[in-house]
Amino acid sequence: MDDVTTDLLIIGAGPTGLFSAYYAGFRGMRVAVVDSLPELGGQITAMYPEKAILDVAGFPSVKGRDLVEGLVAQAATADPTYLLDRTATTLEHGDDDVVVTLDDGTRVRAGALLITSGIGKFSPRPLPAGDGWVGRGMEFFVPSFAPYAGKDVVVVGGGDSAFDWAQHLEPVAASVTLVHRRDAFRAHERTVAAVKDSSVRIVTNAQVTELRGDGHLEEVEISVDGEEPRTVRAQALVAALGFIADLGAIQQWGLETRKRHVVVDSSMRTNLPRVFAAGDITDYPGKVRLIAVGFGEAATAVNNAAVVLDPAAHVFPGHSSEA
């Protein structure tokens, strides 16, 4: 692949990375975006494009895919160079630039680097009883609700993804049963209340202990503490047990990290020169991991990177409505 030279290199093409690309263009920067996934949108595109997102300012409710579509259109104004399905492997520092090498050998030379890679590469936590059932009725993600129409669905988990998918599948599926190993949930209280008020059957202090079917899932065995195992009809099972996050090679670059997150200051600077971070990957006192927060951090990071690229520039460029 041809090497790339740019003003700002962004690692991560999720919502924060896409908004960063737009804002870099607004500041007059050339921008390149790297992502290990083959499509734009990060976790939203990969995991929950149909999910209704409720905490983005200006949108009472917006589907994940619609939010990504808008962000991609907005970022297009910066004419970014997208380097998708590629992973950043090494980081080198020059006197006035950084050089990042990708896993296909491409070298990207940039005046500054902005890391917006969320939780990094992620893999779903396995369901012990589900070994060999992926694609035969069991899935970890729900990219579309249509395949679940008219089916009996079991959702395993007690976090936001489990409750979100149970809530969205309830009007589509013939039945939805949510199974969680405890009687307390990690999901947002509002979503938990909505699911409890729906037709979703919630089974707590329980685990899925066996999946059965001839070629494709037909029934699921659920073991409840202190009770005999019960069997429920199910043609589909969603294992929403969370993810194992891996920052990958980024962890070897000398960045200060705290619990797999990159430590930044109020200008979104890391401990390395010319390297900034924004979004879910960052950590600082009082950090809140919301998409809306990532957007603000993106603007802060890009504006401070602009001064690194051109010391005569101002951190605050004026409002975009004045451009």
* Binding residue ranges: 16, 35, 43, 48, 88, 122, 280, 321
Distances (CA, A) of 125 to 36, 87, 122, 140, 204: 19, 22, 9, 9, 19
- Give the DSSP H or E segment for 296: helix 291-309
Cα separation, 287 vs 37, in Å, equals 26
Cα separation, 261 vs 245, in Å, equals 10
Give the list of residues 6+ apart from residue 309 with CB closer than 8 angstroms, or none: 7, 8, 29, 111, 112
Known binding site for FAD: residues?
Answer: 16, 35, 43, 48, 88, 122, 280, 321
Question: Burial level of 293, CB count in 10 A (0-12/13-18/19+)?
Answer: middle
Percentage helix, strand, coil for the chain under 3-state DSSP, each rounded to 5: 25, 30, 45
CB contact at 8 A, 51 and 107: no
